[in-house]
């Protein structure tokens, strides 16, 4: 026996061959039947062992699937951007600069959710610039330097500019803000800062001089409604009723074989579907557009469904979202996400209650809103508008404002605006401040309402306030003017010998009025505190008076109007009787 024959005896194949040959069936038909059965069994086993299939999942898609709805539905072009027509309009200054290829360094100032971040990204995308994004809440000078070094290298190699977007730029202190100055001047970066605080107070003058400030307004109700409608359309196009979760695979989706091993990146490029898909055909969009109203054959309940795919998104729910968002697109989309995640069978009343509980009042004690509201309260009291004053008082107290802060402002108002017209105003204001200290909230709101109402209806006089301002202006002209000898203090004999208080007439000793030299000779005869009814330097605006008569006096003439005014031109001095309506 040859060596090859000996080797073949110990191989598995030869053993199997020998075994099968030693038990060969005599009938050829039976052998063919067994062969067919074995082939069918192998086919079935091949189907059973086929690995499970799953959709292609990339790292970016995983991150995007867990992002909030507001982040996933950001506009991808300026044409999709909603709101701020004074900035994105065809004839706006910002768009004119964009057409020239560069916008320069910019500060976007506006309330939360008005589109500052989105607009910055779209501007960088339109100019084909590299977009780098930092937040002043978790970044420092080292992060800025790293971005600038990368921007310098990129500009030298490719000629592409870099736009650095710094969110919450007001969080940087003055020393940190100065880091941008040389880089902006040299053109290495274009800074776009976003802030909700007044740049005049929170940013350095050096940085402001190198940037243009654009103010973004709070979005209107129509803007919010349009954003919500577009969001529902885009969510409906994905075919997933729950926008928060990742889309499940369908029969037509591309699949990859999962052999149970760890996730290994595919060699094929990952193709992600953009959020802004092309508009579907008319037959599909007709189901997504708001229903204009019931037709002759429609039922009234069907007309209440703006979006048939989400029957629980009723007109009342939509209006509530618009109202609760208060011009904040991010809040509106967050509320919309709650609604879309709810069951279509949800009751409207419970859904509305849940939406209202999920929104807290936005009130920052250190922000501009606080000072805007206290200013509105003070001006309402000055204008004798008690209803408006009580409204702003309620707004501030309901938002959690310190009642002592309001009481202190009303103490000032009692002397500044009511003043000599009602000497009881100041004691009442002091008593109210003490009541707020003793009682506290919520009961002291009653004391504040009492004070605000009294001050609003009290007669107004600014004679003391304006008199002091005139005296202060005179005092600053020459602080070294000596006191007249007649009114100086003379407690010693030496001072009397020097002429102090000489010829001074002690007023209570006389049965009639007497005069002394009370003012320095430079201001002798000057009248800082003017007489009651003196209307010098007051403006007579006939148009403003007629507007007041029409809107607040029932169309009746003002009682202080002269019978025959000498003219109706604006900004002309005109004598007249003081009125409690004038402040």
What CATH number does residue 163 fall under?
3.40.50.300
Q: For residues 309 and 305, what is the distance between their CA atoms, to the nearest angstrom?
A: 9
Verify that 385 and 352 share a domain, yes or no: no
Q: For residues 422 and 461, what is the distance between their CA atoms, to the nearest angstrom?
A: 8
Q: For residues 303 and 316, what is the distance between their CA atoms, to the nearest angstrom?
A: 12
Verify that 389 and 345 share a domain, yes or no: no
pLDDT tens, the chain, 583 aa long = 444 444 444 444 444 444 444 434 444 444 445 555 555 555 544 444 455 555 566 666 666 666 777 778 888 888 888 988 888 888 888 888 888 777 789 999 988 889 998 998 888 888 878 889 999 988 899 999 999 999 999 998 988 889 899 999 999 998 899 999 999 988 889 899 999 888 988 899 999 999 999 999 989 889 999 999 888 888 887 654 444 444 444 433 333 333 333 333 333 333 333 334 344 433 333 333 444 444 444 444 444 467 778 888 888 888 888 888 888 898 888 888 888 888 888 888 888 888 888 876 666 666 677 888 999 999 999 999 999 999 999 999 988 889 999 999 999 999 999 999 999 999 999 999 999 999 989 999 999 999 999 999 999 999 999 999 999 999 998 888 888 888 888 888 888 888 888 888 888 988 888 888 888 888 888 888 888 888 888 888 888 888 888 888 888 888 878 776 455 444 444 434 433 444 3
Verify that 223 and 320 share a domain, yes or no: yes
Verify that 333 and 444 share a domain, yes or no: no
Answer yes or no: is 577 within a domain.
Answer: no
- Cβ 571 vs Cβ 537: under 8 Å: no
Answer yes or no: is 415 within a domain.
Answer: yes
pTM of the predicted model, to two decimals?
0.55
Verify that 92 and 188 share a domain, yes or no: yes
Answer yes or no: is 528 within a domain.
Answer: no
Both structure tokens of 48: 């059973």
DSSP character at residue 419:
G
Domain range holding 512?
482-523
Domain boundary among 162, 189, 218: 218
Q: For residues 192 and 117, what is the distance between their CA atoms, to the nearest angstrom?
A: 9
User: How many separate domains does the chain show?
Assistant: 4
Verify that 349 and 373 share a domain, yes or no: no
Residues in CB range of 71: below 8 A, 6 or more apart: none
Verify that 410 and 518 share a domain, yes or no: no
Q: For residues 404 and 444, what is the distance between their CA atoms, to the nearest angstrom?
A: 10
Verify that 97 and 184 share a domain, yes or no: yes
Answer yes or no: is 332 within a domain.
Answer: yes
Residues in CB range of 530: below 8 A, 6 or more apart: 463, 466, 467, 536
Answer yes or no: is 157 within a domain.
Answer: yes
Q: For residues 183 and 161, what is the distance between their CA atoms, to the nearest angstrom?
A: 12
């Amino acid at each position: 026996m040859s060596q090859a024959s000996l080797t073949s005896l110990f191989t598995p194949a030869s053993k199997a061959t020998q075994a099968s040959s030693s038990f060969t069936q005599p009938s050829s038909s039976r052998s063919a039947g067994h062969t067919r059965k074995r082939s069918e069994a192998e086919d079935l086993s091949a189907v059973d062992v086929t690995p499970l299939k799953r959709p292609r999942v990339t790292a970016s898609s995983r991150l995007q699937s867990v992002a909030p709805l507001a982040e996933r539905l950001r506009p991808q072009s300026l044409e999709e951007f909603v709101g701020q027509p004074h900035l994105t309009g065809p004839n706006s200054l910002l768009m004119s600069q964009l057409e020239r290829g560069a916008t320069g360094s910019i500060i976007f100032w506006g309330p939360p959710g008005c589109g500052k971040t989105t607009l910055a990204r779209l501007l960088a995308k339109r100019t084909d610039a590299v977009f780098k994004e930092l937040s002043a809440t978790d970044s420092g000078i080292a992060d800025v330097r790293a971005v600038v070094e990368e921007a310098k290298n990129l500009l030298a190699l490719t000629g592409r500019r870099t736009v650095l977007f710094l969110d919450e730029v007001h969080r940087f202190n003055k020393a940190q803000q100065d880091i941008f100055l040389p880089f902006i001047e040299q053109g290495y970066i274009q800074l776009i800062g976003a802030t909700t605080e007044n740049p005049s107070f929170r940013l350095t003058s050096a940085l402001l001089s190198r940037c243009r400030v654009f103010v973004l307004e709070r979005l209107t109700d129509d803007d919010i409604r349009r954003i919500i409608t577009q969001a529902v359309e885009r969510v409906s196009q994905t075919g997933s009723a729950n926008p928060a979760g990742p889309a499940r695979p369908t029969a037509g989706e591309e699949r990859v074989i999962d052999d149970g091993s760890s996730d290994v990146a595919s060699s094929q490029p990952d193709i992600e579907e953009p959020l802004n898909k092309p508009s579907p055909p008319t037959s599909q969009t007709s189901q997504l557009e708001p229903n204009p109203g019931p037709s002759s054959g429609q039922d009234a309940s069907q007309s209440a469904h703006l979006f048939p795919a989400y029957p629980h998104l009723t007109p009342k729910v939509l209006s509530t979202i618009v109202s609760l968002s208060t011009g904040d697109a991010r809040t509106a989309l967050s509320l919309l996400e709650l609604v879309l995640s709810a069951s279509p069978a949800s009751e409207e009343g419970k859904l509305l209650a849940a939406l209202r509980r999920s929104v807290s009042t936005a009130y920052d004690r250190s922000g501009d809103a606080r000072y805007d509201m206290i200013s509105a309260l003070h001006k309402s009291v000055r204008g004798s508008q008690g209803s408006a004053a009580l409204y702003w008082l309620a707004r501030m107290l309901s938002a959690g404002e310190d009642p002592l802060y309001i009481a202190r402002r009303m103490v000032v108002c009692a002397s500044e605006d009511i003043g000599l017209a009602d000497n009881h105003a100041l004691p009442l204001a002091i008593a109210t401040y003490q009541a707020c200290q003793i009682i506290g909230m919520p009961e002291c709101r009653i004391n504040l309402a009492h004070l605000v109402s009294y001050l609003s209806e009290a007669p107004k006089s600014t004679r003391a306030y304006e008199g002091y301002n005139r005296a202060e202006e005179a005092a600053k002209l020459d602080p070294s003017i000596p006191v007249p000898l007649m009114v100086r203090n003379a407690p010693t004999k030496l001072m009397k010998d020097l002429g102090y208080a000489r010829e001074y007439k002690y007023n209570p000793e006389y049965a009639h009025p007497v005069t002394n030299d009370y003012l320095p000779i430079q201001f002798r005869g000057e009248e800082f505190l003017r007489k009651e009814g003196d209307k010098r330097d007051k403006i007579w605006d006939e148009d403003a008076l007629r507007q007041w008569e029409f809107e607040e006096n029932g169309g009746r003439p003002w009682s202080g109007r002269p019978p025959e005014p000498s003219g109706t031109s604006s900004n002309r001095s005109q004598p007249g009787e003081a009125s409690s309506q004038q402040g």
